[in-house]
Every structure is written in structure tokens, then in C-alpha cells.
Amino acid sequence: MTERLDHMHQVPALTQKLTELTLALKKGGVEETILSLVEMRASQLNGCAFCLDMHVKQAKLHGERELRMHHVAIWHESTLFSDRERAALTWTEALTRLSPHGVSDDVFAEARAQFSEDELVYLTYMVMVINAWNRASIAFQSVPGSQDKAFGLDKAGLS
């Protein structure tokens, strides 16, 4: 196997800018719980082990219930998510796996019914950002758990 780059340290200015955008989005008014669900679901869809590992640990540290985290993969069938959370997960899936026809009017209407105009923009950008992080982590094969201590995720008790 070819050794990959540590993209976060190779060009730290880019990592810093993406981190700044991520932090700005988290202050945009959409609940932290929903943003965590978005990060977990997009990471599942993209097969990004590094990001899924990180966001599960972050969610636990922020008080998310473990059963709900297990149910993110089966959220369509689960009764553990509110209408607002379901709309965010639907939006996440539509933007992460864009169809050849884009996002349907029905999916947009569902999201629009649950989120204000500003919130929907913040939510959209959060989906964009987690997809960017996923792509970098997959491209450079970031090792799940390798940054736990640096990010304070070792406190989650999940290793």
C-alpha cells in the first residue's frame, strides 16, 4: 500500500480555512444535534471511516443518545427522529448523492417546511463541508481515531 499524505498538516492553511467555515456553520442557528446527524449520515454515505468515527465521538461528547447514533444508518425506518431531523437527513442524502436531475421539488419542499431560508442555506453549506472533509479523508486514507487526542475525542470513551 502506498503511504498517503497527512492532508491536515501538509497545507495547514487550507485545513484552517475549512475548519473556520465548519465552525462558522455551527454558529448559524441550526441545532448542533441536527448538524451532528448530517455529519454522520454524509460520512456513512461516502464511506468515510475517519469522519464517521470522529463525528460519532463528538456527538457522544455533546450528549447524543447512543441508540440514535446507531439508528442514523436506518433513519428511514426509525421512530427516533423528529420531522425536522428527518428533513435534514433527506436533504443530506439528496445533496450527497446528487441525482442526474438534481434535488427534487418534493425534497426541497420538505426541507423548506422545516427550516427558515437562512437555516436551509447553513444546512446546505454544512452538507457541502462534510462532503469536502470526507473526500479529503478518503483520498488521503486518514486513519480513524488517529486524531482523537488532538481533537479531545479520547474523552468520549469510545476506542
Instruction: Give tens-digit pLDDT for 55-93.
Output: 999 999 999 999 999 999 999 999 999 999 999 999 999
Q: How far apart are CA 55 and CA 26, in angstroms?
A: 13
Would 152 be classed as within a structural domain? no
Domain hosting 56: range is: 13-147
* In a domain? residue 91: yes
Q: Is 7 left (phi over 0), alpha (psi -120 to 50) or beta?
A: alpha
Does pLDDT of 116 surpass 80? yes
The C-alpha cell that represents 56 in the structure block: 460519532
Phi-psi bin for 144: left (phi > 0), alpha (psi -120 to 50), beta?
Answer: beta
Has residue 52 got a pLDDT over 80?
A: yes
pTM, two decimals, is 0.92
pLDDT of residue 109: 98
Average pLDDT over residues 140-152: 82
Q: Among candidates 56, 63, 68, which has minimal Cα distance to 158?
A: 56
In a domain, 90, yes or no: yes
pLDDT over 90 at 128, yes or no: yes
Q: How many folded domains does the chain comprise? A: 1
Residue 4 inside a domain? The answer is no
Cα angle value 89/81/71 (rounded, 5°): 80
In-domain check, residue 156: no
Q: Which CATH number goes with the domain that contains 43? A: 1.20.1290.10
Q: Is residue 6 part of a domain?
A: no
Whether 44 shows a pLDDT value over 80: the answer reads yes
Within a domain: residue 132? Answer: yes
Q: For residue range 12-22, what is the model confidence (pLDDT) as tens digits?
A: 899 999 999 99
89 within some domain:
yes
